[in-house]
Amino acid sequence: MKSDVVVFPGPFPPVDGELISINGGDTFNRTQTLPNKEETDRFLQPICKFCLPAMAVTARCCYSVNENVPFSLYFVIFILSSLTNAQIRYSIPEELENGALVGDIVRDLGLDLSKLSTRRVRITSDSGRRYFTINHKTGKLVVSDRIDRETVCEFSGTCSRNLEVVLENPLEVHNVEVDILDVNDNAPQFPRDEYQLEVSESALTGSRFHIEGAQDADDVSNSVKQYRLSPNDHLTLDSIKPFSNNKQIEFILKKPFDREQKPSHQLILTAMDGGTPQRTGTAKINVRILDANDNVPAFDISVYKVKLYENSPKGALVIKLNATDPDEGSNGEVFYSFSSYTPERVRQMFSMDTETGEIRVKNNIDYEETNSYEMYIQAMDKGPAAVAVHCKVVVEVLDVNDNIPEIILSSLSSPVREDARADTVVALISVNDRDSGKINSFP
């Protein structure tokens, strides 16, 4: 052990006294002026409180400062002990129970177990929380608090705690580094349990779609290594990009969807880590298929035939057409109209409701003028790039007895003799009825 005894002669220093620095041996240099008691206290108190109690020497730190009286320092004895400085390193897994062994610190440092108590051994750490302690009976360094690596070293790839083993009588300080190894105690977790993915049925093969990837708080070796998507015919995972803690996961469309066949799909995405045993996390993927205007309206039949009495009033329903489009929204909304092939005279006789497809009587129908009508109807949806489809409506007009017979006297004969024979023509008369069939027959 090396010791230097320094005796300060009194009176020292003067009122505006100067501090000293020890060069070794019995010489010193003046280094800084202390003008008053407060400055002197600030310098000397830490020395007296820290250095002297740590040494196995009984000493008094006596000083007197008076702003008007010369400073008197009778004597101060400093014993500067040589510090034994060793460094050891341990590795432990996280999440050990309290009391779990870290290392035999007494053996590894070559200390005397029987003197631990008298030397007041203690552990100091670079963190405020005490995760380790020394068992004074066994000399072992043990765990004293739960160690969660992801909490202790939240943003660090490597995780270690630096400790100092301090012993007194004589003073020794030994550095101990404890590496905290990761265990696979965390499962991959998606930011959300359920995701909504919208895909247009017009999307082409090879189209890509993204969702957030899963995260794993464990170290890289125990973090997310792969994903698995539940079997389906349409989406697959991009297997080229590495999966380890990706911020986004890419789906690739391998076969286009058909909303009219199935408007939604439910898939399960599973994230798997690289630990043993392997841990997994899952998320539900709800795929909603967006409609594309990929269908045209279709009439129930291509030719409609209907019978209509000629005395039907204006506004009477002739027929209600129906065309359906399996698309969604405006892509599936159908409107009707007369096509350009429908003659103008027919348009004058009938009206068309573009929304409902109803054809009604617009003017008086007269069988005797026209006994049938043909009209051509087109239907279109309200989506983009709409395509028209057509049907034909044939209206057969039914005759009603709305005409009276007409008697026409074509000629008159000469006066009839009284001796005229039977069947002698007296006059020529014709009768006509514009109605049809039995309606214009006479008894």
CATH architecture of 88-181: Sandwich (2.60)
Q: Rounded to a whole number, what is the distance in angstroms from the first to the last CA of the chain?
A: 156
Cβ proximity of 366 and 310 under 8 Å: yes
> 385 by DSSP, 3-state: which?
coil
Domain ranges of the chain: 88-181, 194-290, 298-398
CATH of 298-398, one of 3.40.605.10, 2.60.40.60, 3.40.50.510, 3.40.50.1820: 2.60.40.60
The pTM of the full predicted model, rounded to 2 decimals, is 0.58
DSSP for 34-95?
Answer: --SHHHHHHHHHHHHHHTTTTSS-------EEETTEEEE--------PPPB--EEEEEEESS
**Cα 363 from Cα 153, distance rounded (Å):** 89
- Would the CATH topology of 194-290 be identical to that of 298-398? yes
Q: For strand 235-237 and strand 248-253, is the pairing parallel, antiparallel, or unpaired?
A: antiparallel
Residue 3, SS3 per DSSP: coil
Q: Give the pLDDT confidence score for residue 57 in this predicted structure.
A: 34
Each residue's pLDDT expressed in tens, for the chain with a length of 443 residues: 333 333 344 444 444 444 444 444 443 444 444 445 555 555 445 444 444 443 333 333 334 444 443 433 333 333 333 454 668 999 989 889 998 999 998 898 888 888 888 888 888 887 778 889 998 889 899 998 898 888 888 766 788 888 899 998 888 899 999 998 888 888 999 999 999 999 999 999 999 999 999 998 888 888 899 999 999 999 999 876 655 556 788 999 999 999 999 999 999 999 999 888 899 999 999 999 999 999 999 999 999 999 999 999 999 999 999 999 999 999 999 999 999 999 999 999 999 999 999 999 999 998 888 999 999 999 999 999 899 999 999 999 998 865 567 767 666 656 777 777 777 777 676 766 565 655 544 45
Q: What gap in Å lies between CA 232 and CA 293, rounded to an integer?
A: 24
The whole-number pLDDT of residue 73 equals 38
Distance CA 266, CA 348 (A): 54
CATH of segment(s) 194-290: 2.60.40.60
State how far the Cα of 22 lies from the Cα of 10, in Å rounded to an integer. Answer: 17
Residue 346 tokens, joined? 């027919």
The closest of 371, 358, 390 to 350, measured between CA atoms, is: 358
Rounded Cα distance between 271 and 282, Å, is 6
Q: How far is CA 143 from CA 88, 129, 136, 160, 400, in A?
A: 17, 12, 14, 14, 109
Assign residue 150 a region (left: φ > 0; alpha: ψ between -120 and 50; beta: otherwise).
Answer: alpha
